[in-house]
Amino acid sequence: MARSVNMLRLRTNFWFLPVFYGGVALLLAIGTLLLDHYFMAGKVEKLIPSIFLSNIDLAQTILSSIASSLLTMTTITFSTILVVLTTYLSQFSPRALQNFITDHATQRVLGIFTAGFIYSIILLLFLKETKEEQLFLVPSFAVAIAILCLIVFVFFIQHVTTWIQVSNLLHNITVETLECMEELFNDSDNSTHDAPWDDWESKEITTKEPITIMSNKPGYVQYIDIDALVKIAYETDCIVRVERQQGDYINEHTPMLSIWGSGEKIENESFRSLITVSIARAPLEDVEFGIRKVTEIGVRALSPGINDPSTAVHCIEQLGTLLSKLTSMKGIKPFFNDVYRNLRVIVKTPDFFSYLDIAFSPIIRYGKIDFDVIHSVLDVLKLISDHSPPFRKEAIWKYTLHTIESIKEEKYLELERERLNTNIKDLCYSLGYGKDIERLKLK
């Protein structure tokens, strides 16, 4: 997983794929020149149709035209990317920029155009006029690459028009977060866990003073390497408690780890290096970050400058999809043992109520005067309840009470109030609190 963090950092750098494709184009240009020299110097020249061969003047004209055209297409592509980024910033969410920037298709399009330009320029540089009339095959390769670039350009236009639609953006964020859930929670179920109070370690934790390891820089906790922590805790014969969760913001000298064990064996830097801190949050193993992205788009849609409740309702529905999937999962276990079933690592885990609060509270706060928004929230809460095991329903009930308390002072039309009371009734029955319907009805 640490390798995934490094790969994400490379993917978020816009220069990586264009530079890589440019290097490939350089090698391809040199290889094409050598191939051209080999073909034209031997008997193979007679086997090549004359339509694919060009003299020096025609070759230079073709390569010069292709190079200038590809440079223009690259400029248009870059300008289009800037327009998309501006749209994301102004209408959606700054956090959603990462989805477009890390998209492989966007980076590859820019990389292919860069590669085509470099390929044409290198060929143009090495084509020299000779005393004897000579024919060249390389312009045909350059034309083929130019046609490929044109096809990619058409694809890019279609790709941008698809990505800039809010429905597709929300779908992509939802799919990415669902994949994160599957990876995170499936991995957690494969580990051996049990509670510290069932083991001999409980007395050691409660009676000894821990060694505290502080952060050495501010930023967001991007990744916690649990497997490596278990390994190093086993090697140093200690117990580690992680004081922060992924996605938390920390300052310099913030407690990151508490360690119970022999201080002589513990090297602070060895433990500290297993927690990656960066200036930005990453979607890797950070379900909360994906939920916040969808919520921020919904809140932005409710702002006076945009005033688009339909988008907010769509965001609520996507949040319902995420939380319905999350409620059926066991979640991250807080205790990790070594191969001998001795407790080694303790982590903090968010409860389900926290996810509900992060997802819906900002939207309710800014959209509670809008009937469609509140109707959608109550409807989605029932959907989540219908998919929830019994041990999740208490958190949903607690958040239902919070939601009703938030809207009870709002003035709705009579028909709207009746529909909301119907939502409340259905939700109470789904959660097993039918006796509280009359008490919770909107007056």
Contact 55, 134 (CB under 8 A): yes
Check the CA dihedral 16-22-25-29 and report its sign: negative
The pLDDT of residue 192 is 41
Contact 96, 293 (CB under 8 A): yes
The pLDDT of residue 207 is 65
- CA dist 209 and 392 (Å) reads 35
- CA dist 258 and 269 (Å) reads 14
- CA dist 29 and 34 (Å) reads 9
Residue that is written with structure tokens 């690592």 in the block: 345
Q: Which amino acid does the sequence have at 2? A: A
Contact 39, 48 (CB under 8 A): yes
For 196-278, CATH number? 3.90.1170.30
Contact 325, 178 (CB under 8 A): yes
The pLDDT of residue 193 is 43
The pLDDT of residue 7 is 62
Q: Which amino acid does the sequence have at 288? A: E
The pLDDT of residue 96 is 76
Q: Which amino acid does the sequence have at 359? A: A
- CA dist 395 and 38 (Å) reads 74
Per-residue tokens: 357: 């609060």
Contact 85, 125 (CB under 8 A): no
Q: Which residues pair with 336 in a beta bridge?
A: 345
Contact 114, 18 (CB under 8 A): yes
Helix residue ranges, H only, 302-413: 309-327, 352-367, 371-386, 390-407
Residues recorded for the chain: 443
The burial class, CB within 10 Å (0-12 / 13-18 / 19+), for 402 is: middle
Q: Consecutive 10-residue runs of the chain (443 residues): their mean pLDDT?
A: 57 76 91 77 64 79 89 86 81 76 82 90 80 74 90 90 86 89 63 46 63 89 87 88 87 88 74 85 76 92 88 94 87 82 86 91 92 94 91 92 90 90 92 87 84
Pairing mode, if any, of strands 255-260 and 239-242?
Answer: antiparallel
